[in-house]
Amino acid sequence: MDRHFEGRVVAITGSGRGIGRETALLFARQGAKVVVNDLGGAPIGGGADQSIAQTVVDEIKAMGGEAVAETSNMSTMEGGRNLVGAALDSFGRLDFLINNAGIIRPAPLLEMTEEDFDIVIAVNLKGYFATIKAGLEHIIKSRGAIVNYSSPSGWGHWGMTNYSAAKEGVTGLTRSLAREVGEYGVRVNAVRPIAAGSTMDIPAIRRTLDESARLDVPLNSMQRLPWNNVMPELRNPAAVAAWLCTDHASVFSGREFYIAGSQVAIVADPELTRDHFNANGWSFEDLCNEEIVHGLTYNQHNAFAPKGEPKTL
């Protein structure tokens, strides 16, 4: 059977563990030469372990593939340049970029620090910019593709305002970049996976899920399948990311894919509903008009309203 990525080169951030590791192994099995990037830090940031990336490189080489480890911090522009430099120095080209590196710092906003917010944005959003900025010219030369891992948390997740903002930023980056590079034959897409893995053991993550359940405000994406069916094998999102780099997915750019357990779906682009038009524009008084209020609010409800008396601090 032909291997889809024979002779191609992929750089994958955060590929020492979890989804990133599965993505790296899949690309390698399909013939790609892989740059395995991982700082080896903790899920909440901090620390470093260069052996994490090297272990995946050793796995790839053991199966007969080619790979090189790269351990830069992807929250910096230098890290992005180092990643791309590793691909060029080792393999002479760069065809695909998979952005996956990320950290979490869960906390309700009342408890969240500026550092909690800044570091999550730096790794989960600026880091994607850094790698793309460094590698885009080379991906254009190879008519390659970019896949950005986003998250269903971008749709809203209790205790994750920093992470949700970063991941929804990834979606905007993906859509905008697709419009910029389409004329060069480059495609850019995003994947929103549910793949909890080891982060489920972090008390702060358990708290976000427990509070969501207590308040009856789960992630929209979790309402379609029971939780025991979306605790996935990590190979599922890896398969989607790799598939998006093939000609089979050539009709997609600037799009998002959702993957959870047995379910894969295209995420619909945002659309407008309940249009109202006023030839003279809209004033505050116009919007308070009873007919307009009814037209906008009919059959709507505040899903996050308190079930009883509002809490006090």
- Greatest Cα pair distance in the chain: 70
Contacts of 46 (CB under 8 A, 6+ apart): none
Phi-psi region of 146 (alpha: psi -120 to 50; beta: other; left: phi over 0): beta
SS3 38: coil
| CA separation, residue 118 to residues 82, 161, 184, 205, 224 (Å) | 22, 12, 33, 19, 32
The tokens of 280 are what?
Answer: 């003279």
133 φ, ψ to 5°?
-60, -40
Instruction: Examine the residue annotation and report whether 163 is marked as an active-site residue of this protein.
Output: yes
Compute and round to an integer the Cα radius of gyration of the chain.
21
Single out the catalytic residue among 149, 163, 258, 298.
163
Residues labelled catalytic: 163
